[in-house]
Every structure is written in structure tokens, then in C-alpha cells.
């Protein structure tokens, strides 16, 4: 009995001891690092994004559009309800040319005069890197892709204000587009 009481008293003493607070030096205080976003992004809206929309098109987006029998420009206009200018970088063009004869229809579509050709300053021929770099530098683009890895890269690198067009149920859909720009709500 006495041993139990002793243990209980020791436990109470441990509980009653106030914990010593460490005094913090205000000069050694660390600030919180917040990533800087461009001034064109006001709250959640990208003010550089507006009709006519410039859409960066990925290789697989063109191929899946052909498989789904979707006309690229008309379907984009149907999705966004405004004029769209599909843009193709040199890397994407090179990627389509490397695919060979099987994808000659895609190559013919990309040579359409309605498509804007963008010279590529990026060293290398990997199209995904080129698209991500261009989107981080200029926030005036919408990215059209079906590639999950590219979507993930745009989301993980937290590039704010960049919507993505993708294909589902044989039509184009857009994600993360502010209501201010007159996009359809479903």
C-alpha cells in the first residue's frame, strides 16, 4: 500500500511541475517563405487569360482527337464558347514527325494555317518539358493534353492560373477555368 501511495505522489509531483518555456530571440525568428506569383494573377483569376484563347497543344491530344473524330479548332471553340488559336511548339512538331507514317494525319492537321507555330527556345526535344517551361514563363496559355504525367507536372509544380483541356466522352472539357471569362458551367 505504501509503495502505491508513493508512486501516486511522485506522479502528482511530475504533473504539477510547470514546463519551462524557452524564450525566443526575436532577431533569430524565421520568416515564412511564400512563393511569389506574378501580378497578373489576382486572387484566383489569371488576368492575362482571355479571348481569343491561345491553346498549347500536346502531341497525344492531337492523336486522341483524331481517334475520337473531333475537329480540333471547332471542338475547342465549342468547349470555350469563343475564338481559339491552337499553338504548336517546335518540340511538339518534331515529336509528331518522329512518329512516322502512322501519324501523317496528325502532321497534316498541325500544318493547318490556323495553327500558330511557336519557336522553341528550350534545348532538347522532350515536348512536355518545353510546354511546362513555356507555361511557367507566360501565363497566357491554356494547355491541351491527355497525358496524365504532364497534367500532374502542371499541378505539382503549382503553376497557378493555367487551365487544362482534356478529352472525355468524345468531347473536350476544361478544368480550373474561372467563371469571369464566360466559360460554360455544367
- Give the three cell numbers for residue 117: 507555330
Tell me which of 32 and 2 has the higher pLDDT: 2
What mean pLDDT do residues 133-162 have?
83
Q: How far apart are CA 120 and CA 59, in angstroms?
A: 15
Positive or negative CA dihedral for 12, 16, 17, 21? positive
Half-sphere exposure of 95 (CA within 13 A, CB side): 21
- pLDDT per position as a tens digit, 83-125: 999 999 988 898 899 888 888 999 999 998 999 999 987 676 6
pLDDT at position 167 is 92
Is the pLDDT assigned to residue 186 strictly greater than 50? no
The mean per-residue pLDDT over the stretch 4-21 comes to: 63
Q: In terms of CATH architecture, what is 50-175?
A: 3-Layer(aba) Sandwich (3.40)
Render pLDDT for 20-75 as a digit per residue (tens, 0 to 9).
666 665 555 555 555 555 555 544 556 677 788 899 999 999 999 999 999 999 99
Query: Of residues 139 and 9, which shows the higher confidence score?
Result: 139
What residue spans of the chain are helical by DSSP H?
Answer: 2-16, 59-67, 72-80, 90-99, 104-110, 127-137, 148-156
29: DSSP letter: P
CA atoms within 13 A on the CB side of 163: 26
**pLDDT for position 183:** 46
CA 163 to CA 167: how far, in whole Å? 14
Reported confidence tier of residue 129, pLDDT bands at 50, 70, 90: confident
Amino acid at each position: 500500500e505504501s509503495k502505491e501511495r508513493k508512486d501516486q505522489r511522485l506522479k502528482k509531483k511530475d504533473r504539477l511541475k510547470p514546463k519551462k518555456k524557452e524564450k525566443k530571440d526575436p532577431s533569430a525568428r524565421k520568416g515564412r517563405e511564400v512563393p511569389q506569383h506574378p501580378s497578373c494573377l489576382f486572387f484566383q483569376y489569371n488576368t492575362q487569360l482571355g479571348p481569343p484563347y491561345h491553346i498549347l497543344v500536346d502531341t497525344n491530344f492531337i492523336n486522341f482527337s483524331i481517334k475520337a473524330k473531333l475537329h480540333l479548332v471547332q471542338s475547342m471553340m465549342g468547349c470555350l464558347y469563343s475564338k481559339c488559336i491552337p499553338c504548336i511548339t517546335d518540340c511538339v512538331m518534331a515529336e509528331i514527325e518522329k512518329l512516322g507514317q502512322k501519324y501523317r494525319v496528325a502532321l497534316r492537321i498541325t500544318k493547318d494555317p490556323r495553327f500558330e507555330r511557336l519557336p522553341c527556345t528550350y534545348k532538347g526535344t522532350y515536348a512536355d518539358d518545353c510546354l511546362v517551361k513555356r507555361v511557367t514563363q507566360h501565363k497566357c496559355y491554356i494547355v491541351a493534353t491527355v497525358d496524365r504525367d504532364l497534367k500532374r507536372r502542371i499541378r505539382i509544380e503549382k503553376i497557378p492560373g493555367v487551365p487544362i483541356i482534356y478529352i472525355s466522352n468524345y468531347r473536350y472539357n476544361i478544368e480550373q477555368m474561372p467563371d469571369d471569362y464566360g466559360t460554360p458551367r455544367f
